[in-house]
Amino acid sequence: MGTSLQQDATVASRGAVEQYDAIIIGAGVTGLYQLYRLRQLGISVRLFDDGDGVGGTWYWNRYPGCRFDSESETYGYSFSNELLQEWDWKEHYSGQPENERYLNYVADKFKLRPDIQLKSRLTSAVYDESANRWDLKFEDGRRARTQYLIGAVGILSARFTPPFEGVESFKGRSLHTGTWPKEPVNLAGKRVAVIGTGPTAVQLITEIAKEVGHLTVFQRTPNYCAPLRNAPVTAETQQRFKDTYHEIHQRIRETPAGFAYDFDPRKTLEVPREERLALYEKLWAMPGFSKWLGNFHDIMSNREANEDFAEFVRDKIRARVKDPAVAEKLVPKDHPFGSKRVPLESGYFEQFNRDNVLLVDVRETPIERVTPKGIKTSDQEYEFDIIIYATGFDAVSGALTRIDIRGQGGRTFKDTWADGPRTYLGIQTAGFPNFFIATNSAFCNYPVCAEMIVEWITDCLRYMSEKGFKRIAPTPHAEQAWVEHAAELASHTFLSGTSSWFMGTNIPGKKPALLLYANSAPNYRNKCKEVAANGYEGFVLE
């Protein structure tokens, strides 16, 4: 199952090319499980990651306040009952330190570390058509060669910092939430800026406002934040989880988004107003994404229905902010509820009632540049000790298009995806044989779909081995049909009409395209099963 780390370092120092049957890029939730599954096939496999620890998202995003917005009992792996029984979740929505410990526990329990190479950033992957192998080069000069290449890079891993003029001139400390330092950051008494008010910023701002000397929040787009309502997991609840994990996982596999919620089948506006409001209040009092995924089914397709609930949320925000002018700045009015990821919060809006917190609306006074002292907007310059960029990610496609990936005929992955993701089933792209995209692109609780994709890829490689096939890639026709199908689904939602990372519109110059698959998780899973059952219909196996 590959060489030891010591042997591997010796090989690299000699400049030799390491040879594997399969290489996985990314040591997060998906990559670790993919490694576990491929080792069961008895093939040589190696996992590379550019961090110096495993965990992916939960390794890099260690900013204050970072935690699940999925229920902890639904986020952990479901493949091992022994693991389920051994691990205790401390909170219903677990925090980053605990999540990182969990993934390290998994790596140790299943003895994955001998086949993991850390501190290895992939810079290029070139397909050798004559040998049917992928040639990989890493930033440290390491080279490797493999038949199968699996990109388990996650959907939110390519950090993005807006190209503000003067970013490098700032004399204070600059931080990005996606690469937060391991050592504690001393914010006490400091003048701090946070740029961004998305889900990450909402968690961060809530946590640091009480510590900093003064906090200035630069907001471009207000969000429909909803209460998380986190709490510790009691011993009795922990035991209930362990006694019913089979039922819990069966349940979340059947729901549209992989959470323990079902949409209300009634049409919003056919329900009497008092009854609607009673449901809204009930959902608001519940934890997690219930307000989004347990609501009336047509709030994501009927504009009037959506506006009915959106105004309910706006009133909830207004009631929590003392200054009416600040409240109106925090109230979203330019996009439907749920057309962006709904941030879950634990006291976010109350932070703007503090004397040491200032909200700056950059739509009213845009950021012109970063200066040596701080940030200059159109009306004044603000001085800071620390600037924190909570500015998100080049989502879904960015982690792959930033790597120089070249398929048949030297075709680049970046050019192929220039107008948006082009895949069949979200798993492979035509012209890039044996390159699997092990990334959950469905609207789904991440680990639920990630496990399914890993198992589909593993079953595919087993099938190919048993049948004597060496290469697999989708037909251009199947890929085009899938792209059109995904676009048609998207057109029936509000997602495609809203500026968000869902559409890639947070990245300057990126062509708008829905980056996620707007279908239910069960429908997606059934389609993937159907394709496999029909001999991998839509793929060419050679």
Listed as own residue / partner, the contacts of 176-179 with beta carbons closer than 8 Å and 24 or more positions apart are 176/388, 176/389, 176/390, 176/391, 177/61, 177/63, 177/66, 177/201, 177/204, 177/388, 177/389, 177/390, 178/60, 178/61, 178/392, 178/393, 179/60
Token pair 């946590």 is found at 207
Token pair 């692109």 is found at 441
Q: Report the CATH number of the 5-54+112-158+395-541 domain.
A: 3.50.50.60
- Over residues 300-332, the pLDDT tens digits come to 899 999 999 999 999 999 999 999 999 999 999
Torsional sign, CA 454, 455, 457, 462: positive
Q: What is the arithmetic mean of pLDDT over 336-341?
A: 91
pLDDT at 495: 76
The β-bridge partners of 367 are 377
Is pLDDT above 80 for 179?
yes
Q: Position 311: which residue type?
A: E
Burial of 41: CB neighbours in 10 Å, binned 0-12, 13-18, 19+: middle
Is pLDDT above 50 for 10?
no
Highest mean predicted confidence (pLDDT) among 12-16, 196-200, 493-497: 196-200
Q: What is the arithmetic mean of pLDDT over 231-237?
A: 98
Is pLDDT above 80 for 8?
no
The β-bridge partners of 436 are 150
| Interacting residues of 274 by C-beta distance below 8 A, sequence separation 6+ | none
Which residue did the predictor score with more confidence, 9 or 302? 302
Domain with CATH 3.50.50.60 in the chain: 5-54+112-158+395-541
pLDDT at 2: 39
Is pLDDT above 80 for 496?
no
pTM of the predicted protein model? 0.94
Q: What is the arithmetic mean of pLDDT over 479-499?
A: 87
Inter-axis angle of helices 29-39 and 446-467, nearest 10: 30
pLDDT at 493: 82
Is pLDDT above 80 for 361?
yes
pLDDT at 503: 82
pLDDT band at 514; cut points 50, 70, 90 = confident
pLDDT at 6: 39
**3-class DSSP state for residue 47?**
strand
Pick from 80-89, 121-130, 198-207, 439-448: least confident: 439-448
Is pLDDT above 60 for 13?
no
* Residues 295, 271 contacting (CB under 8 angstroms): no
Pick from 184-198, 213-227, 453-467, 485-499: least confident: 485-499
Q: What is the arithmetic mean of pLDDT over 158-172?
A: 95
Which residue did the predictor score with more confidence, 358 or 300? 358
pLDDT band at 537; cut points 50, 70, 90 = very high
- Over residues 80-119, the pLDDT tens digits come to 999 999 999 999 999 999 999 999 999 999 999 999 999 9
CA end-to-end span of the chain, whole Å?
26
pLDDT at 367: 98
pLDDT band at 9; cut points 50, 70, 90 = very low
Is pLDDT above 50 for 445?
yes
Rounded to the nearest 10°, the torsion over CA 148, 152, 155, 156 is -130
Distance CA 233, CA 91 (A): 5
- Over residues 394-408, the pLDDT tens digits come to 888 889 999 999 999
pLDDT band at 5; cut points 50, 70, 90 = very low
